[in-house]
Amino acid sequence: MIVLGIESSCDETGVALYDGERGLLAHALYSQVALHAEYGGVVPELASRDHVRKLLPLLREVFADAGIERTQVGGVAYTCGPGLVGALMVGAACGRTLAWAWGVPAVGVHHMEGHLLAPMLEPEPPAFPFLALLVSGGHTLLVAVAGVGRYRILGESIDDAAGEAFDKTAKLLGLPYPGGPRLAALAEQGDPQRFSFPRPMTDRPGLDFSFSGLKTHALNTLAGLAGSEQDRADVARAFEDAVVNTLAIKCRRALQQSGLQRLVIAGGVGANRRLRAQLAELMRARGGQVYYPRPQFCTDNGAMIAYAGHCRLSAGEHADLAIAATPRWPLDALTAPAG
């Protein structure tokens, strides 16, 4: 079965075609970074309007790249939530309408499930079960994954997600939107010995995260400095080291508690070089394996939605004719496909 996947949960429009036999046929992604940079963050109304403008051209591009006709599509998957409700409705309306017009089933996909399953698009995907660290702008989760739809949340952020903390701290440092990657680039010039930031919630049992205090710590540290480029780089390095080390500590605990030997890193922050290095070293020391999606599939994309949708559609799952979005949708509310 060939599945068309549509992602429109926030500020990236993604479209892909996935074939259960041949794998990923084609994908295209449009980022709204330039649109929102002027405002220092995502403006929901502008995001929705831009999805409307870009979705159909991307659909034409993907079909042309794959060299297939719409009559060959056996199902449509679209991100149903969580995310910005207006942006979600654009993808849901397009996906559900195309499926109805083509006479094929459609399914709404959980955005986080898409991220969790993104490593399955790689040549050497992880086998179930595995531990997943899902780190993005809106979510930081540790999840025991027994199979598609079989998720048990072990820990989550009680305030800012890791990616959100990166972006907010980047703003304190005067870096433009999107700040996370720019903070990581600035940290490359920083002195790792100059400042030591706390590793929040690592001095107590448990697997939950809290990153909002690191932002405050960065603000207070900056207040006592002259604000030179080196000062900013040193603060960026201390902040990045604290976040990365905290994530690694919690992953180690989760692996010990769960007994799992495979670790999957998903979400936009999963592209961070220092995080990948620390977690690779952690898994080497444990004799386990770590898996990542390729960098272009760490951020939001249509390929992960097409794959997750294929898993559910091929098991006989499908949505009714209603066009609906679920902006707040707990991951552990999902169930395994009936097939």
203 and 190 assigned to the same domain: yes
49-100: per-residue pLDDT in tens?
999 999 999 999 999 999 999 999 999 999 999 999 999 999 999 999 999 9
Of residues 137 and 255, more confidence is placed in 255
Nearest one of 271, 292, 294 to 283, comparing CA atoms: 292
pLDDT over threshold 80, residue 339 = no
**Does 243 carry a binding-site annotation?**
no
286 and 301 assigned to the same domain: no
Residue labelled with tokens 């006989």: 316
188 and 280 assigned to the same domain: yes
Mean model confidence pLDDT for the chain: 96
Evaluate the CA torsion angle 228, 229, 230, 232 in order and state its sign: positive
DSSP string, 25-39: EEEEEEE-HHHHHTT
156 and 61 assigned to the same domain: no
Q: Is residue 36 part of a domain?
A: yes
CATH of the domain at 283: 3.30.420.40
Phi, psi angles (nearest 5°) of residue 193: -95, -15
Q: Is residue 194 part of a domain?
A: yes
DSSP state of 9: S
Q: Is residue 29 part of a domain?
A: yes
**Does 41 carry a binding-site annotation?**
no
311-324: per-residue pLDDT in tens?
999 999 999 999 99
173 and 259 assigned to the same domain: yes
**Does 137 carry a binding-site annotation?**
yes
**Does 314 carry a binding-site annotation?**
no
286 and 303 assigned to the same domain: no
135 and 245 assigned to the same domain: yes
Q: Is residue 123 part of a domain?
A: no
Burial grade of 137 (CB within 10 A; 0-12, 13-18, 19 or more) = buried
Q: Is residue 169 part of a domain?
A: yes
Q: Is residue 338 part of a domain?
A: no
**Does 320 carry a binding-site annotation?**
no
105 and 54 assigned to the same domain: yes
> Cα–Cα distance between 76 and 107 in angstroms, integer?
6
Mean pLDDT value across residues 231-242: 98
pLDDT over threshold 90, residue 291 = yes
- List Cβ neighbours of 218 (8 Å cut-off, separation of 6 or more): 169, 172, 173, 197, 235, 238, 239
Longest Cα–Cα distance of the chain, Å, equals 64
Q: Is residue 49 part of a domain?
A: yes
179-213: per-residue pLDDT in tens?
999 999 999 999 999 999 999 999 999 999 999 99
45 and 152 assigned to the same domain: no
Q: Locate 322 and state its tokens.
A: 């209603």
Which of 120-124, 134-138, 258-262 has the lowest average pLDDT?
134-138
Q: Is residue 339 part of a domain?
A: no
Phi, psi angles (nearest 5°) of residue 299: -80, 175
**Does 136 carry a binding-site annotation?**
yes
Nearest one of 160, 175, 305 to 233, comparing CA atoms: 175
278 and 136 assigned to the same domain: yes
At residue 244, the 3 state secondary structure works out as helix
At residue 87, the 3 state secondary structure works out as helix
pLDDT over threshold 90, residue 338 = no
Checking phi first, is residue 3 left (phi over 0); if not, alpha (psi -120 to 50) or beta?
A: beta
**Does 167 carry a binding-site annotation?**
yes
- Give helix 179-187 / helix 162-172 axis angle, nearest 10°: 70
Domain range enclosing 15: 2-118+297-333
Its pTM stands at: 0.95
279 and 310 assigned to the same domain: no
Number of domains in the chain: 2
155 and 227 assigned to the same domain: yes
Nearest one of 262, 254, 5, 265 to 110, comparing CA atoms: 5
**Does 134 carry a binding-site annotation?**
yes
> Cα–Cα distance between 219 and 271 in angstroms, integer?
25
